[in-house]
């Protein structure tokens, strides 16, 4: 018996899915236990998509070179009404009401849904999973978090016998490429971003990548699976990389580390402390070695210990392979493949409440005794100092960094307020504070 698949949206990701389904048809059928067939593709630009991905035009809906939005909507309705289509892959993108209606409509039409749409899932996964259970269908979203890295199945299946203690990961390739470029070549953020755009690692509008939004969507999904947290995407603290300077990168190097945009979550008792933010990752941590657009996720289990998954977090065939793995899994197991998310009473708390080492970059008036003033204020907050960097003098001001031992963010901020209150004008702007991941 055939298992027939339709694809809605055949751009970069959808094209990769279609190619794999066609090229690996026999092997996929053996793994699924039945023949997996590409039945239909709906795309606004069918001729261009077919040519770009080397897919026979016969698979596409419509006869012309393009479909109007109204024609595309009509073709999507035909797919949903077709009783011979078992599964729909949504690779249109977006998280607005229209795409939510399409995704929900797939499940309500009695078809399985597979998507890489992390923004949609971060905001509406509860809605979609409810619709899936009601209609006895499965939802696959392995590709929504770091594409080719099998973290969703890892958390949903392989680690269900463990108790997750912490997760830290590089889940956005664009930001990692930019920070790697700044580290390797000493470039400023603006130059590194332009290079990333020129090489296709960053979009023309890179906002979601550089402000932590994309990584936040992924961490939201991971938090739900790993810890059973019922959280809204908007509740997750996020800080991007657009304020990271070449000076910050140099100080990180001096502190034996590199700056990475990290998705971090750590369980302490009945609380989970989580955030997306730039962190200085010590060279002793494997994540410090992950450069370019590569992603990596480090899971610490109570029993299994450290598990690190490394792979490509984007790309047509890379993301496509994760989607196809969901298709095969659903062809074999149907609604039993639905993620089993056990909700908990864990409380989501800010990462700053954890005791972590911090690196603080101070820009001060170039005057004698400033290092002593700063270190004294830090000591008054009962913060132990690990390392003090060399001063970098520039005309009428200086910069230096202090790496602390473990403390809370509030302690660091009280030390800063102490300096500002007792030595007005000594600090030329707010210090730049980054947590350190050891």
Q: The domain that contains 261 carries what CATH number? A: 3.30.360.10
pLDDT of residue 342: 64
pLDDT over 70, % of the chain: 98
Mean pLDDT, rounded, for 247-260: 96
Closest CA to 358 of 266, 282, 291, 284: 282
Shared-domain flag, residues 84 and 26: yes
Structure tokens at 252: 């990180």
Shared-domain flag, residues 298 and 364: no
What's CA 43's distance to the chain center, in Å?
26
Which residues, 6+ apart, have CB-to-CB distance to 105 below 8 Å? 80
Residue 248 lies in a domain: yes
Shared-domain flag, residues 322 and 421: no
Q: Where are the beta strands (DSSP E) in 292-357?
A: 294-301, 305-312, 347-350
Q: How far is CA 411 from CA 264, 296, 355, in A?
A: 20, 31, 10
Shared-domain flag, residues 293 and 324: no
Least confident of 111-115, 199-203, 409-413: 199-203
Q: d(Cα 391, Cα 50) in Å, to the nearest integer?
A: 59
Residue 344 banded pLDDT, cuts 50, 70, 90: confident
Residue 350 lies in a domain: no
Residue 392 banded pLDDT, cuts 50, 70, 90: confident
Q: d(Cα 288, Cα 280) in Å, to the nearest integer?
A: 9
Q: Examine the pLDDT at 430 and tell me if it is beyond 80.
A: yes
Q: The domain that contains 35 carries what CATH number? A: 3.40.50.720
Residue 395 lies in a domain: yes
| Surface-to-core class of residue 309, CB atoms within 10 Å of its CB (0-12 exposed, 13-18 middle, 19+ buried) | middle
Mean pLDDT, rounded, for 359-370: 89
Q: The domain that contains 363 carries what CATH number? A: 3.30.70.260
Q: d(Cα 122, Cα 128) in Å, to the nearest integer?
A: 11
Q: Examine the pLDDT at 121 and tell me if it is beyond 90.
A: yes
- Helix, strand, coil: what percent of the chain each, to 5? 45, 25, 30
Residue 167 banded pLDDT, cuts 50, 70, 90: very high
Shared-domain flag, residues 307 and 241: yes
Residue 81 banded pLDDT, cuts 50, 70, 90: very high
Residue 340 banded pLDDT, cuts 50, 70, 90: low
Q: Examine the pLDDT at 205 and tell me if it is beyond 80.
A: yes
Q: d(Cα 61, Cα 73) in Å, to the nearest integer?
A: 11
Shared-domain flag, residues 327 and 205: no
Q: d(Cα 351, Cα 274) in Å, to the nearest integer?
A: 5
Shared-domain flag, residues 295 and 177: yes
Shared-domain flag, residues 277 and 293: yes
Q: Examine the pLDDT at 343 and tell me if it is beyond 80.
A: no
pLDDT of residue 339: 65
pLDDT of residue 416: 97
pLDDT of residue 312: 92
Structure tokens at 173: 């390739």
Shared-domain flag, residues 190 and 101: no
Residue from 153, 181, 218, 260 carrying the catalytic annotation: 218
pLDDT of residue 301: 97
Range of the domain at 85: 3-150+318-337
Shared-domain flag, residues 287 and 332: no
Residue 157 lies in a domain: no
Residue 128 lies in a domain: yes
Q: How far is CA 51 from CA 18, 58, 118, 375, in A?
A: 13, 12, 28, 64
Q: Where are the beta strands (DSSP E) in 241-384?
A: 257-268, 271-282, 294-301, 305-312, 347-350, 358-365
Residue 344 lies in a domain: no
Shared-domain flag, residues 72 and 209: no
Residue 124 banded pLDDT, cuts 50, 70, 90: very high
Mean pLDDT, rounded, for 224-244: 94
Sequence-separated contacts (24+) of 70-78 with Cβ below 8 Å? 72/42, 72/43, 72/44, 75/42, 76/8, 76/42, 76/102
Residue 158 lies in a domain: no
Tens digits of per-residue pLDDT, 278-321? Answer: 999 999 999 999 999 999 999 999 999 999 999 999 899 999 99
Q: What is the mean pLDDT of the chain?
A: 94
> 363 φ, ψ to 5°?
-110, 120
Q: Examine the pLDDT at 180 and tell me if it is beyond 70.
A: yes
Q: Examine the pLDDT at 28 and tell me if it is beyond 90.
A: yes
Residue 232 lies in a domain: yes
pLDDT of residue 396: 78
pLDDT of residue 119: 95
Q: d(Cα 419, Cα 425) in Å, to the nearest integer?
A: 9
Q: Is the dihedral of CA 178, 184, 185, 186 positive or negative?
A: positive
Residue 23 banded pLDDT, cuts 50, 70, 90: very high
Structure tokens at 296: 């990596």
Helices (H) and strands (E) in the chain, counts: 15, 16
Please tell me the total count of domains within the chain. Answer: 3
Q: Examine the pLDDT at 58 and tell me if it is beyond 70.
A: yes
218 carries an active-site annotation: yes
Shared-domain flag, residues 303 and 194: yes
């Amino acid at each position: 018996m055939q298992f027939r698949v339709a694809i809605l949206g055949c751009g970069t990701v959808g094209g990769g899915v279609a190619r794999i389904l066609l090229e690996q048809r026999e092997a996929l059928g053996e793994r699924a236990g039945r023949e997996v067939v590409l039945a239909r593709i709906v795309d606004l630009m069918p001729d261009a998509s077919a040519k770009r991905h080397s897919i026979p035009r016969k698979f596409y809906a419509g006869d012309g070179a393009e479909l109007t939005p109204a024609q595309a909507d009509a073709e999507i309705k035909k797919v949903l009404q077709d009783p011979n289509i078992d599964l729909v892959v949504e690779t249109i993108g977006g998280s607005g009401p229209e795409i939510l209606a399409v995704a929900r409509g797939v499940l309500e039409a009695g078809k399985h849904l597979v998507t890489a749409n992390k923004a949609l899932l971060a905001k509406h996964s509860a809605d979609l999973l409810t619709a899936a259970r009601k209609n006895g269908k499965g939802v696959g979203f392995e590709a929504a978090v770091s594409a080719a890295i099998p973290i969703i199945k890892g958390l949903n299946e392989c680690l269900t016998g463990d108790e997750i203690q912490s997760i830290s990961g590089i889940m956005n390739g664009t930001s990692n490429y930019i920070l790697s470029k700044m580290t390797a070549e000493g470039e400023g953020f603006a130059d590194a971003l332009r290079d990333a755009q020129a090489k296709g690692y960053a979009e023309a509008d890179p906002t979601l990548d550089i402000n932590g939004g994309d990584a936040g969507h992924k961490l939201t999904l991971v938090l739900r699976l790993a810890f059973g947290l019922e959280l809204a995407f908007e509740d997750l603290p996020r800080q991007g990389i657009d304020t990271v300077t070449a000076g910050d990168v140099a100080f990180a190097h001096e502190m034996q580390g590199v700056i990475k945009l990290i998705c971090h979550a750590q369980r302490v008792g009945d609380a989970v402390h989580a955030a997306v933010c730039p962190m200085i990752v010590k060279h002793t941590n494997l994540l410090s070695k992950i450069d370019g657009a590569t992603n990596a996720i480090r899971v610490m289990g109570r029993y299994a210990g450290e598990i690190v998954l490394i792979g490509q977090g984007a790309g047509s065939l890379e993301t496509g392979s994760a989607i196809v793995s969901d298709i095969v899994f659903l062809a074999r197991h149907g609604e039993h493949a639905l993620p089993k998310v056990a909700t908990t009473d864990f409380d989501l708390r800010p990462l700053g409440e954890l005791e972590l080492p911090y690196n603080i970059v101070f820009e001060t008036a170039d005057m004698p005794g400033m290092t002593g003033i700063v270190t004294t204020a830090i000591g008054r907050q009962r913060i132990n100092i690990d390392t003090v960097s060399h001063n970098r003098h520039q005309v009428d001001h200086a910069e230096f960094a202090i790496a602390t031992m473990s403390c809370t963010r509030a302690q660091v901020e009280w030390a800063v307020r102490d300096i500002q209150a007792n030595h007005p004008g000594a600090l030329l702007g707010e210090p730049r504070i980054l947590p350190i991941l050891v």
